[in-house]
Chains A and B, each alone.
Chain A
C-alpha cells in the first residue's frame, strides 16, 4: 500500500499532480472526439475550436512539469512516489502529443472533406478513432483505479488498431488510383488515419507508464501473435 508520509502537504502535492493529469486527459479525449466529429461531418467551426483548445494542453503540460520538478527538488521522493512524479511528467508529455495529433486532424478537415469521398471512408476513420479513443479512455480509467491487471487487453487493442489502419490504408490507395482528383483529399485522410493510429500508440505508452508506476516493473512486451481478429468490444472497452 501507499507508504505513510509525515507531511500531508506532500500527499496533497501528489494528488494535485494526479488531478492535473486527469483533467489534461479529459481535455485530450475531448479534442480527439471533436476532431473526428469535425472530420466526419465536415464541420469546420468545430475543427477551429479544436485548434483553439490545444494551448490548454501545452499550458497544463508546462504546469505539471514545473510542479513535478519542484516536488522532486524539495521532497526527494523515493520508490513509488518517485515513479508517480516521473510518471506524471511522462504521461503529460504523451497527452500533449495526443492533443497535437488531434489538432493536426482538425487542421486537415477542410482539405480532406473537399470533393466526393465515399461515406464508407469516413465511417472507417470513425471506427478507427473509436478504437483509439476506447484505448485512451480505458487507460485513463486505470490511472484512476490503479487496477493494472486490466491493462492486459492493451496489446490486443493495438493489434485491432493496426489491422483497421491497414485496411483503411488500402481502401484509400484504391480510391487514389481510381481517380487522380481523389489524391489530395485522400492523402489528407491518410494522414488523419495515421494520426489516429498514433494516438492509440500514445495511449499504449501511457498504459506502460501506469504499469510502471504501480508495479515498479516494465509491462511485458512479449505476447503471442494472435490471429487477425476483430475484437469488437473487448471487455477492455468497458471500465469494470
Chain B
C-alpha cells in the first residue's frame, strides 16, 4: 500500500507540473515565438537557444499567478481520488440492505453480501431470471427501456418463508448503462398485521372446543351434579386439564407467531448440538420417568457444532423428544442418536429421535407437520396436545435450511430425523 501511495503522489506531482505548463500555454507560446524570432534574425548559438527555451519552460511551470486556482484544482483532484479509491464494491458492502448492480441486459454485475446471502445470487446471473414476480419484471423492464429512470414496487413471496420487499430500481448516473436495485425488507411490518389476524383466527377456532366442554361441565355442576361429590371431583379434573390445554395452546401460538415475526435467523456463532440435546433430555427426564419411558443416547464420536440459534434448536428437540415420550410411551424407551453424514455433498449433522410406540400410519406422515393436525384427536387431547409442536419444528428447521424426515411402521414406532447442514 505504502509503495503504491508514494507512486501515486509522484504521479500527482508530475501531473501538476504538466498542468501548470498547460495553464501558461499562451505565455509559453509567445515566449517561444519571441526566442525563435531572435534566434532566426540574430543568429545566436544553438546552446544558447536551448538554454533560453529551458529557462522559459521552468518559469512557466513555476508561474505564480495561477497558484490559487491550481491548489484548488489539486484539492479537487485529491478529493475525487479519495472517493475513487473507495471502490463501488466497498460502498455496496457497507450497505446492509441487499444491493445489486446490473447492466442493460439485466445481467448482474455486482451483488453485495446481503444480496448474495438473501437471494443466493451470483455475478453473471440474469436478474430478470431470478426475480420473476410480474411486478418486479415490469419494473426492471420500465427502467431498462428508459421509460423511467427509477421506480419501486412492493413484492411478496411466500416460500420458503414469507417475505415482503420494497424493490427500487434506478439508472446509475448518465449513460453508464448500469442500473441499481435495492431491496428493503418490509416483512416485519406486514407480518405484525398478518400475525394478529392469524392469531385471532387460529386461537378462536381452537379454543372453541375446550371452552364448550368447560361450559358444559359448569352447567352440569350447577345442575344435575350439584350434590355429587365424586362427579364434581372428576369434572373439575377435566376442566383443569382443558384450561391447561388452552394455556398451552396460547403459548404455542405465540411461539409460532414470534417465529414468523422474525423470519431471518440470528445465528449465534457455533452451537453444540450434543449439548443442546443433553439439556433437553435433562429437562424432560421427569416427564419421561412419569410416563415410564427411558431415554437412551447413541451419540457417535466427534463434535457436533454448527452455526445456529440455540433457543430455537432447543425447541426443536424438545418437541420431538416430548412427542416420542408422549405418543411412544408404550414402547418403554426412546433413543436419541447423533451422527455426521458420510460422503454426502454437503456435510450434515443428523439427529434421530426414535420411539417404539404405535407409530404413525403412512397417510398421516406427510400431514403431521401441518398446524393443528392431530392423528387421533382423542388421544392427543387426552395428552394435552395442541397439534402445533411439529409445525413449530418445521418452521424452525426451514429457517435453518434443515429438513425433517419421518419414518414409521405401524406398531413398531416412529423415527423423526433432523438433517442440519453444517456451513
A76 adjacent to chain B (CB < 8 Å): no
Query: Interface-forming stretch among A43-51, A126-134, A179-187?
Result: A126-134
Of A25, A33, A124, A229, most B-chain CB atoms within 10 Å = A229
A54 adjacent to chain B (CB < 8 Å): no
- Once bound together, how far apart are the Cα atoms of A124 and B368, in whole Å? 10
Task: Tell me whether A230 and B406 are in contact (CB under 8 A).
Answer: yes
Total chain A interface residues with beta-carbon distance under 8 A: 48
Task: Tell me whether A22 and B128 are in contact (CB under 8 A).
Answer: yes
- Once bound together, how far apart are the Cα atoms of A26 and B131, in whole Å? 8
Residues of A201-240 whose CB lies within 8 A of B:
227-235, 237-240
Task: Tell me whether B367 and A127 are in contact (CB under 8 A).
Answer: yes
Given contacts A163-B366, A229-B365, A233-B398, whether A120 and B372 have CB atoms under 8 Å apart is yes
Of A12, A133, A235, most B-chain CB atoms within 10 Å = A235
Task: Tell me whether A145 and B365 are in contact (CB under 8 A).
Answer: no
Residues of B337-390 whose CB lies within 8 A of A:
345-346, 362-373
Nearest residue (CB) in B for A159 is B366
Task: Tell me whether B406 and A30 are in contact (CB under 8 A).
Answer: no
Of B366, B394, B405, most A-chain CB atoms within 10 Å = B366
A15 adjacent to chain B (CB < 8 Å): yes
B-side contacts of A19, CB under 8 Å: 106, 126, 128-129
B87 to chain A, nearest CB (A): 26
B-side contacts of A145, CB under 8 Å: 120, 122, 125, 130
B156 to chain A, nearest CB (A): 10
Query: Interface-forming stretch among B132-140, B179-187, B235-243, B320-328?
Result: B132-140
A-side contacts of B404, CB under 8 Å: 230-233
Of B129, B131, B133, most A-chain CB atoms within 10 Å = B129
Task: Tell me whether A26 and B133 are in contact (CB under 8 A).
Answer: yes
Query: Interface-forming stretch among A62-70, A105-113, A136-144, A191-199?
Result: A136-144
Task: Tell me whether B134 and A23 are in contact (CB under 8 A).
Answer: yes
B158 to chain A, nearest CB (A): 6
B119 adjacent to chain A (CB < 8 Å): yes
B205 adjacent to chain A (CB < 8 Å): yes
Residue from A127, A149, A228, A237 within 8 A of B365 (CB atoms): A228
B-side contacts of A96, CB under 8 Å: none
B-side contacts of A137, CB under 8 Å: 159
Nearest residue (CB) in A for B202 is A119
Given contacts A18-B126, A19-B129, A232-B394, whether A123 and B370 have CB atoms under 8 Å apart is yes
Task: Tell me whether A229 and B407 are in contact (CB under 8 A).
Answer: yes
Task: Tell me whether B365 and A233 are in contact (CB under 8 A).
Answer: no
Q: 1/0 per position for A16-38, CB-CB distance to B under 8 A?
A: 00110111011101100100000
- Once bound together, how far apart are the Cα atoms of A141 and B137, in whole Å? 15
B-side contacts of A231, CB under 8 Å: 403-405
Task: Tell me whether A240 and B398 are in contact (CB under 8 A).
Answer: no
B-side contacts of A133, CB under 8 Å: 158-159
Residues of A67-117 whose CB lies within 8 A of B:
none
B105 adjacent to chain A (CB < 8 Å): yes
A-side contacts of B225, CB under 8 Å: none
- Once bound together, how far apart are the Cα atoms of A76 and B366, in whole Å? 48
B160 adjacent to chain A (CB < 8 Å): yes
Given contacts A22-B126, A143-B129, whether A239 and B403 have CB atoms under 8 Å apart is no
Given contacts A134-B160, A233-B401, whether A22 and B365 have CB atoms under 8 Å apart is no
Nearest residue (CB) in A for B137 is A23
A74 to chain B, nearest CB (A): 21
Task: Tell me whether B160 and A238 are in contact (CB under 8 A).
Answer: yes
Given contacts A228-B407, A232-B404, 7 further A-B contacts (CB under 8 A): A19-B129, A134-B159, A140-B129, A163-B362, A164-B366, A167-B367, A233-B160
**Which residues of B pack against A, CB within 8 Å?**
105-106, 119-120, 122, 125-126, 128-134, 136-137, 158-160, 205, 345-346, 362-373, 394, 397-398, 401-407, 421
**CB-CB nearest 9 A-B residue pairs:** A26-B132, A144-B129, A232-B404, A229-B405, A164-B366, A22-B129, A167-B363, A239-B120, A163-B366
CB<8 Å pairs between A and B, sample of 11? A23-B137, A124-B367, A124-B370, A137-B159, A228-B362, A229-B365, A229-B405, A233-B160, A233-B404, A237-B160, A237-B398
